[in-house]
Structure 1
Amino acid sequence: MARAWIKPSADGPGHTCFWMDPDRRQRQKTFRRKVDAENFRTRKERELDTGTYLETERGAETVATLFERWATTRGLENSSVRQYRSMLNQAVRPYFKARTTGALKLADIQAWILWMRDTKKYQPQTIQTRFGYLSSALQWAVDNDELGRNPAKRAKLPGRRANVRRVVKEKIVVPTRVEIEALIAAFDPRYTAMAWLMAGCGLRVAEAMGLCRDQIDFRRGLLLVNRQITEDGESDSGKNAGLHLKMYTKHRDAESPGRAVPLPKIVAAVLRAHLKKFGAVAWQSSQGQVHLLFPNHSRTGLLYQYYFRNQIWQPALMESKVSFTKTHALRHFFASSMLGKGCRSPTSRSGWATAIPRSLTSTTATSCPKRPNAAEPPSTPQWPPPQTNKAAVQTDQPAAVTSMRDPQDHGGQPATATRTQQDLPIHKRGAGPPSDRSTR
């Protein structure tokens, strides 16, 4: 039986093309001229034979509409949906406009890539990311039998993917100890301890923003990193996502919410001083009441990232005049310090949980030289910590403060030397490690 055939129209002049779709349902379309019906029949037979058949109503869907469906109907978190919608408004809708998926060709995708490069002035890695998202949306439609083929499959991107990522990684900046001290000195006193946590314990900015009192074990020198603030909660308007204290961290889930990291003595001293001066704010989370160390400026709830970035981070960068601009640079300093102390490059299950690019490893020798005969750190700490002999447990008294020049006591090992107050960086706003103010 033929898959497509033509008959004279029964309702008047013209010819009707009939065909059977992949679901064995009969379809039809009428043309005034027989030659148009013949051409349509030939095209439908070719689509059915090659597996590129596309329903007429699906082919009429715009590229922007398909991308929005892909971003909003797969059960993603609000933060991911907001990221995809931002790309939709900046890079997809302005170019494709009313272009339909049925009319989309490889040449259209190639022209879009050039438009991002020449008109939008995107960097190669940004172009690769934007292209990957659109290609995933088109492939999702193909997998759902909504499109017959993915026109982005054979598109060529500027530069090799490996080379682009290698260049990006080579741009990693590792702050010096002097820069870290200058940045901390310029920080708002209410949030100075956040900088110490990022540089001294390797916390991400969202993890430091969501730190609560019950995550800190001063006695055993451990910090449980199992929460972060995300902007993927529900809001009244539904347009912008609300703040949410997520009870697990990046690349984790509810079954394995986080990691336990050693708490250096200097960071522990800073946290004690912060709690003594500012206290903690009680806040009702999805799993009960918690006590936030870094609430918003009115001390009524969670801290927005845009407020921290615009009111805390940017002013500190301008005052300290450091060479970096992103908070993630503090994690690079932490990782470099760990490598300088003899720690091996971590795995995905590591307690300090950060990837070590080769460029970062190569800078370690200059930014934080490895000490002679550095001992290998112990295995990843466990939480809750095992019970130990009370006589061996460290007392919960303020610890001797060490300088950022000996940036950490990672691994729970005793500090090799105790610094005096004169060794500490001078804090312009009176925040930072606990000290006798009369000595300044």
Structure 2
Amino acid sequence: MTSIFQNCKAGEKNQKASADTCAAKTERGNELGVHAVREGLRIPLVRVFEEFISAGDTVTGSKRNYEASLNRNIKPYFGDQDLGSVNPADIQGWLTWMREQGYEDSTTVVRYRVLSSVFNYAVNRGYIARNPCHRVRVKQAKALRRSKKRIQIPTLDEVGRLTAELPEQLQLLAWLMCGCGLRIAEALAVTSGQFDVEEGVLYVDRQIVADGESEEPRTRTQRAHTRGRDRALRIRHLKWRDSDEGREVPLSSFVGRKVQEHIKRHGTFRIEEGRNRMTGDYLFTNISRTNIMSLAYMDKVWGAAVKAAELGRSVKKHWLRHFFASAALSRGVPVSEVAEWLGHTDPKVTYGMYAHLMPEAPARLRSVMDSIFEEGGDPGPPLETERLGEAEGCEV
């Protein structure tokens, strides 16, 4: 099929009037989201999506999420539609279709962002002229705010009751999540060498994931069961961090005592460097103490503990991390520091998630001013600053 750009080029050769007409058509086509594709590059959107997934150094977990979006949201709706023919109306219809399928608004926003990234990739590759997603209005901030308002925070009583129902050798996990803000994958990967109890610091630099490389199948039976390949349990460095970069989290004396008690009662499990492994003396293992704890098994253990605790609601593991964040922010700890301890690369992420849990600034300011006026005190600058201002004749 001849592209709009090719039609314009032919018009220029014939006469200026035809060229002007074609230029107008091109502009109109761009406004409608009809994007010109070079000859030989009119390929299905699905194929470009697959190319996007395989390109770059995206971590395996993210690739699987992209693949899930491709199979569940892109293929069923767009089918074999060409990349260059997708227009804003198509994307708007796709968003409506996902809502009709029962997806939350926050989920449709995430899927939209992935698709927009695919189109940006196509633009950078020269497949299309512009990203049609840029002409689609999506209330992203509002949808994500509604999602964040559903953040649940367990009470201290719920944490205590739930922890008591966990196997004794796993109870420390709960205290690491609610006391240090660790993700479950980070808590399962802690080693004794990451703790400095005297200084009150926990250094977080690794996590457990289920995307490791499996050994090549050797027997006929192994070759026949390849479904689980590339999903071996792996200890890896923190995602989005350089290989020598981690984060330091304050370790309270309470959690520090829990760590010492755990090591005294259960010891550690030594792992040497190897396939899917990082050297260290690990605090948590599987029941037989022959390997690290799997995330899948932890899900079963956690579910059983929640049921046994009879809390009246299904407390998720990640809620304990919310407990840590809300406790810190509600006591006035700066959001920038909490973001660093949580492992958020941008404090805006932390603020966006937990802003509604923080004390209101006006109320905090009123409290500060009342304490100054009623209890006395000088909020002025240090004497050195005053003298500097006088010497320079400054008026501030």
* Contact 2:8–2:22 under 8 Å retained in 1: no
Could you tell me how far apart the structure 1 residues matched to 2:36 and 2:160 are?
63
Q: Which runs of 5+ in 1 are unaligned?
A: 5-16, 22-38, 364-372, 374-440
* Contact 1:191–1:294 under 8 Å retained in 2: yes
1:355-383 C-alpha deviation (Å, 9 max, x unpaired) = 251222259xxxxxxxxx9xxxxxxxxxx
Instruction: Give the C-alpha shift of residue 341 in structure 1.
Output: 4.7
Q: Report the structure, 1 or 2, having the larger helix content.
A: 2
Could you tell me how far apart the structure 1 residues matched to 2:124 and 2:9 are?
21
The equivalent of 2:128 in structure 1 is: 147
1:145-204 C-alpha deviation (Å, 9 max, x unpaired) = 1123323221233xx222222222222222111111111111122211101111112111
Could you tell me how far apart the structure 2 residues matched to 1:117 and 1:352 are?
32
Q: Describe how 1:281-292 pairs up with structure 2 within 5 A.
A: 281-285=269-273, 289-292=279-282
Q: SS at the partner of 1:136?
A: helix
* Contact 1:347–1:353 under 8 Å retained in 2: no
Aligned with residue 171 of structure 1, among 150, 159, 170: 150
TM-score, length-scaled by structure 1: 0.66
Instruction: Give the C-alpha shift of residue 44 in structure 1.
Output: 10
Q: 1:341 to 1:55 in 2, by over 3 A?
A: closer
Aligned with residue 325 of structure 1, among 315, 318, 322: 315
The equivalent of 1:359 in structure 2 is: 356
Aligned with residue 200 of structure 2, among 208, 215, 221: 221
Greater Cα shift, 331-340 or 195-204: 331-340
Instruction: Give the C-alpha shift of residue 19 in structure 1.
Output: 9.3
The equivalent of 1:431 in structure 2 is: none
Specify the code of the residue in structure 1 equivalent to 2:69. Answer: M
Instruction: Give the C-alpha shift of residue 222 in structure 1.
Output: 2.1
Aligned with residue 233 of structure 1, among 212, 215, 220: 212
* Contact 2:165–2:308 under 8 Å retained in 1: yes
* Contact 2:209–2:233 under 8 Å retained in 1: yes
The equivalent of 2:171 in structure 1 is: 192
Could you tell me how far apart the structure 2 residues matched to 1:186 and 1:174 are?
19
The equivalent of 1:401 in structure 2 is: none
Determine if the alignment matches structure 1 residue 316 to structure 2 residue 298: no
Could you tell me how far apart the structure 1 residues matched to 2:167 and 2:304 are?
9
Could you tell me how far apart the structure 2 residues matched to 1:124 and 1:85 are?
20
Q: Which runs of 5+ in 2 are unaligned?
A: 11-17, 216-225, 345-349, 361-370, 372-396
The equivalent of 2:286 in structure 1 is: 296
TM-score, length-scaled by structure 2: 0.72
Q: Describe how 1:91-130 pairs up with structure 2 within 5 A.
A: 91-118=73-100, 120-130=101-111
Q: SS at the partner of 1:131?
A: helix
Specify the code of the residue in structure 1 equivalent to 2:117. Answer: S
Specify the code of the residue in structure 2 equivalent to 1:268. Answer: G
Could you tell me how far apart the structure 1 residues matched to 2:130 and 2:168 are?
57
Could you tell me how far apart the structure 1 residues matched to 2:47 and 2:69 are?
13
1:367-412 C-alpha deviation (Å, 9 max, x unpaired) = xxxxxx9xxxxxxxxxxxxxxxxxxxxxxxxxxxxxxxxxxxxxxx
* Contact 1:44–1:53 under 8 Å retained in 2: no
Could you tell me how far apart the structure 2 residues matched to 1:258 and 1:362 are?
30
Could you tell me how far apart the structure 2 residues matched to 1:234 and 1:334 are?
34
Could you tell me how far apart the structure 2 residues matched to 1:347 and 1:263 are?
14
The equivalent of 2:40 in structure 1 is: 57
Aligned CA RMSD, in angstroms, stands at 3.3
* Contact 1:213–1:293 under 8 Å retained in 2: yes
1:327-365 C-alpha deviation (Å, 9 max, x unpaired) = 2211221223334555333347744556251222259xx
Q: 1:327 to 1:250 in 2, by over 3 A?
A: farther
Q: 1:251 to 1:260 in 2, by over 3 A?
A: same
The equivalent of 1:432 in structure 2 is: none
Specify the code of the residue in structure 1 equivalent to 2:303. Answer: Q
Aligned with residue 266 of structure 2, among 259, 264, 278: 278
Q: 1:127 to 1:339 in 2, by over 3 A?
A: closer
1:62-101 C-alpha deviation (Å, 9 max, x unpaired) = 2221111111112211111111111111111122222221
Could you tell me how far apart the structure 2 residues matched to 1:288 and 1:250 are?
14
* Contact 2:268–2:283 under 8 Å retained in 1: yes
The equivalent of 2:387 in structure 1 is: none
The equivalent of 2:118 in structure 1 is: 137
* Contact 2:36–2:84 under 8 Å retained in 1: no
Greater Cα shift, 69-78 or 313-322: 313-322
Q: SS at the partner of 2:334?
A: coil
The equivalent of 2:242 in structure 1 is: 253
Q: SS at the partner of 2:134?
A: coil
The equivalent of 1:82 in structure 2 is: 64
Determine if the alignment matches structure 1 residue 264 to structure 2 residue 245: no
Aligned with residue 326 of structure 2, among 323, 328, 336: 336
Identity of aligned residues (%): 31
Q: How many residues align?
A: 325
Structure number with bigger Rg? 1
Q: SS at the partner of 2:271?
A: strand
Could you tell me how far apart the structure 1 residues matched to 2:266 and 2:114 are?
44
The equivalent of 1:66 in structure 2 is: 48
